[in-house]
Structure 1
């Protein structure tokens, strides 16, 4: 009976224990579940955040995709346009290549012709330069005058030999002065005075052509033609004297100028500061006391000669140029020439 009365209690107690145990177990499970829940919740929050970021990235990528799609479409259009341009350029290139090849052939032909023209131009220029030199030397410009002194010319030597027989004794100065007069007389008696005809002065290529009343003659031409103006006669006489003396002594051709004309004669420097003037065209020579050819001091010889021409109407005559085979010198005054001659 007693056991029967306690049975409900025991059952209750057992139930309580079981329930308590279950509660403990449930509490533990709850804690575990709560912990898992918290973890899952945290994971959910994290995943939600990541999902949000992924959505944002997705939206950005969508926007970029749309932009790229638009760019791609634009690039496709540009590519198509470029492709068309390339095709046209290809056609243009092919056309231009044909034109280039044709022009290249024509260029090669023209280049060859150009080289021939250049050669011809150079030949013509060389020919003209030679012609210009040959023509203009007759003007007697500057040092060109020296070329006309030709003591070794065969005709000059022949006339010297015929007129004097040669200088038989080079130490005999009396013979020299006598023969000097013979040479002077030969020119005076055998060469008539004549004025020069106009001759052209050839310019450099592209220059201006003009005429000038001047024509220098070589001595053999004056001998052959038997006429010439003052410089022709003086050049002939100077060449004859140089030939006679075997070119051992200085012989000058001297020119004076005035405001209107010029004149040319021969001057021979003599030892002791003296000078002899031989002027065949002017029929004048420096004379000695016997009337033959002689010499005087430089100042007197020049003074007499210029005074002679002053009386002919040229009061402002002054020495301008002296030249010979290896000499050419210009002077600004008579005094400058006199001082130079004295030093020489």
Structure 2
């Protein structure tokens, strides 16, 4: 039998190769077009979020300006009242003229001024406590962590149920859902400047009266959970207060939840997250840094979290642990992790 001979047309081969090459390049082109479109959409989203943030900052600046003006008027009123009181007390000090009718009138008026001043002093002290509550972290932060304020959110928008010990298989998913909801719905934002006040008192006849109101500006304002939910924005401590409140609402006292703040004096930084301790497991929810972890060993859990957020343990000077009924400061990580491990072993 003779061999079949096939003659290959070089031109046809080149055309096929060119067609295949064009198809591959076109596919790559389409893929890059999709990637570019995705980047454009992300850019538009970030642009919208940036514009919203600018509007929030403008609103906060306007609120601060209004508050500053109110402070100025309050200070002027107190300064004037103090001068009147000081002059009246000098007149009232004329004890040998108490039978004089005009002096008695002056004394009566000064007494009325003193009572009015006492009432204003109480109001000012209350106002100062409110300002102090929102300008720093400490024992007062317990008042900001409030599970009752977020219970409806936990039930209707976040988890949809409360912790049920009869269904431990739900626990991991539910706690992670709290983390995911806050991470996706609360924007990381820096605090604006907020006034802090200092009241200078003077002792008059054994009573302390405010003589001067001093206020300074610093970039710190600690929000309660409702403010964070309303603004849909907050920094690490604002988010930790919200998450801790949600965890407490969800756990119903059947587990522990705390706000944990690590402080480095050398670098002047403080970072806060939330932890939950349930059934011998510790959960760490750091929504501002997008970290969620769990472990049965306290030391491993904390070290993994610190490594993720790039905090060197040797520079941490203090750890604050806070919830609505608890406040404690640890001066070393070892003491903190030992306390936490003991709580883990209590299974609650």
8 Å CA contact 2:316, 2:332 repeated in 1: no
Moved over 6 A (4+): 100-103
SS state of the match for residue 310, structure 1?
A: coil
What does the per-residue CA deviation read over 1:122-162, in whole Å, with 9 as the maximum and x for residues that have no partner?
01101101111111110234210101111111x54234432
1:314 Cα offset (Å) = 8.4
- If each structure's helix is expressed as a fraction of its own residues, which one has the higher value? 1
Please, which runs of 5 or more residues in structure 2 have no aligned partner?
Answer: 1-95, 202-212, 344-348
Backbone CA RMSD of aligned residues: 2.2
| 1:192-246 CA-partner distances (Å, limit 9, x unpaired) | 0111112111213346432221111111111111000001111111111111122
Match of 2:114 among 113, 118, 125: 118
Q: 1:176 and 2:175 equivalent?
A: no
**8 Å CA contact 1:151, 1:157 repeated in 2:** no
Range with bigger deviation, 301-310 or 169-178: 169-178
* Residues in 1 aligned to 2:335 and 2:119: alpha-carbon distance in whole angstroms: 45
Cα distance between partner residues in 2 of 1:143 and 1:229 = 19
Does 2:278 match 1:283? no
CA distance in 2, matches of 1:188, 1:241: 14
Q: Give the alignment's TM-score, normalised by structure 2.
A: 0.63
Q: Which deviates the most, 133-142 or 178-187?
A: 133-142
2:148 maps to 152
Any conservation in 2 of the 1:253–1:324 contact (CA below 8 Å)?
Answer: yes
Check conservation: 1:310, 1:316, Cα contact below 8 A: no
The 8 Å contact of residues 255 and 279 in structure 2, kept in 1 or not, is answered as: no
- Contact 1:167–1:175, Cα closer than 8 Å, also in 2: no
Tell me how far 1:339 sits from its aligned partner: 1.5
Cα distance, 1:245–1:264 mapped onto 2, change above 3 Å:
same
**Which has the higher Rg, Structure 1 or Structure 2?**
1
Q: Deviation per CA, 1:274-329, whole angstroms, max 9, x where unpaired?
A: 4221100010111xxxxxxx323000001111112226x88724552001110000
Aligned residues of 1:266 and 1:279 also touching (Cα < 8 A): yes
Are the structure 2 counterparts of residues 204 and 133 from structure 1 closer, same or farther at C-alpha, using a change threshold of 3 Å? same
Whole-angstrom CA distance in 2 between matches of 1:169 and 1:264? 28
* Native 8 Å contact 2:228 2:239 kept in 1: yes
Tell me the equivalent position of 2:254.
248
Larger strand proportion of the pair? 2
- The aligned counterpart of 1:343 is 342
The change in CA–CA distance for 1:105 and 1:269 in structure 2 (over 3 A counts) is same
2:303 is the counterpart of 1:295: no
Give the superposition deviation at 1:268.
1.6
Does the residue aligned with 1:323 lie in a helix, a strand or coil?
strand
Aligned to 1:202, which of 194, 197, 203? 197
Unaligned runs of 5+ in 1: 1-99, 287-293
Residue 267 (1) aligns with residue 275 (2): yes
1:214 matched residue in structure 2: 220
Superposition pairs of residues 33-44 of structure 1, within 5 angstroms: none
Deviations 1:9-28 (A, max 9, x none): xxxxxxxxxxxxxxxxxxxx
**Contact 1:157 / 1:240 at 8 angstroms: preserved in 2?**
no
Contact 2:163-2:250 at 8 Å conserved across structures: no
Tell whether 2:234 aligns with 1:228: yes
Partner Cα distance (1:102, 1:124) in 2: 28
Alignment partner, residue 38 of structure 1 = none
CA contact (8 A) 1:309 1:315 kept: no
Q: What residue number does 2:87 align with?
A: none
Aligned with residue 129 of structure 1, among 116, 125, 131 = 125
Per the alignment, residue 63 of structure 1 pairs with none
1:196, 1:255 → 2: CA distance?
A: 17
